[in-house]
Structure 1
Amino acid sequence: MTITYEEFERVDLRCGTIVKAEKFLRATKPAYKIWADFGSEIGVLQTSAQITVHYTPQTLLGKKIVGCVNLGEKNIAGFVSNFLLVGFSDSNGAICLASADLEVPNGNKLH
């Protein structure tokens, strides 16, 4: 499927920093609750992510991530998700987070 550049521009992918992470005990599959700071314009948003294979709550703190911030809210087992944490599946299907390899300010948009 091909999309236009204008359609891609509507996807709001931003750089953020994880400021809080904890086990999501009510989730049906192993997951964490994640809070990420997307800068002064957007603020701190929360999400649920099934990223428990490669990460612990401690290793996630301070990690630069990429999040889609304009998908709307989704209720996941009573927890409201405000953004989608972006990553890739490894060869076993476990998620590896997408991130910036250099220092990027929170809230910067992917171009």
Structure 2
Amino acid sequence: MKEPIGFEDFMKVDIRVGEVLEAKVYQEARKPAYILVVDFGEEIGTKKCSAQITECYDCEELVGKQVLGVVNFPPKQIGKLLSEALVLGVYSDQGVVLIRPDQKVKKGDRLG
């Protein structure tokens, strides 16, 4: 377990629902990954990110899926890609499994 944080620290993390618009293999990545373009709704807009989820998903099946992502981290250079968001997943025996709403919700809805 990691060290405890205060509730105020957790509330600083902006986690929103987004819809995957595009997914393609990130050819230049050191570890197998996809480049995702995710629409987080009107307020946030679209953001690109790298996701190491190739063991559990194909690009085609990702398009149209809703995902949860952190949208207020500063951009991070990952190889040639400037990643603008962090799509959330669970490390499991089969690979990284995305965290997703179990019902369709509005893009940009906030985890709270």
Q: Do these two structures clear the TM 0.5 threshold for a shared fold by scoring above it?
A: yes
- TM-score (ref. length: structure 1): 0.96
- Give 1:46-61 correspondences, 5 Å limit: 46-61=48-63
Corresponding residue for residue 37 of structure 2: 35
1:79 aligned partner, one-letter code: L
CA distance in 1, matches of 2:67, 2:49: 12
Match of 1:78 among 77, 80, 83: 80
CA distance in 1, matches of 2:93, 2:58: 20
- TM-score (ref. length: structure 2): 0.95
Shift of 1:27: 0.5
Gaps of 5+ in 1: none
- Structure 1 stretches of at least 4 aligned residues deviating more than 2 Å after TM superposition: none
CA distance in 1, matches of 2:91, 2:73: 21
1:108 aligned partner, one-letter code: D
CA distance in 2, matches of 1:51, 1:103: 21
Corresponding residue for residue 67 of structure 1: 69
Shift of 1:90: 1.1
RMSD over aligned Cα, in angstroms?
A: 0.8
Percent of aligned pairs sharing the same letter: 37
CA distance in 2, matches of 1:41, 1:71: 16
The Cα offsets for residues 8-52 of structure 1, whole Å up to 9 and x where unpaired, read as 100011000000000100001111000000000000001001100
Match of 2:10 among 8, 11, 15: 8
Corresponding residue for residue 103 of structure 1: 104
Shift of 1:77: 1.0
Gaps of 5+ in 2: none
Corresponding residue for residue 88 of structure 1: 90
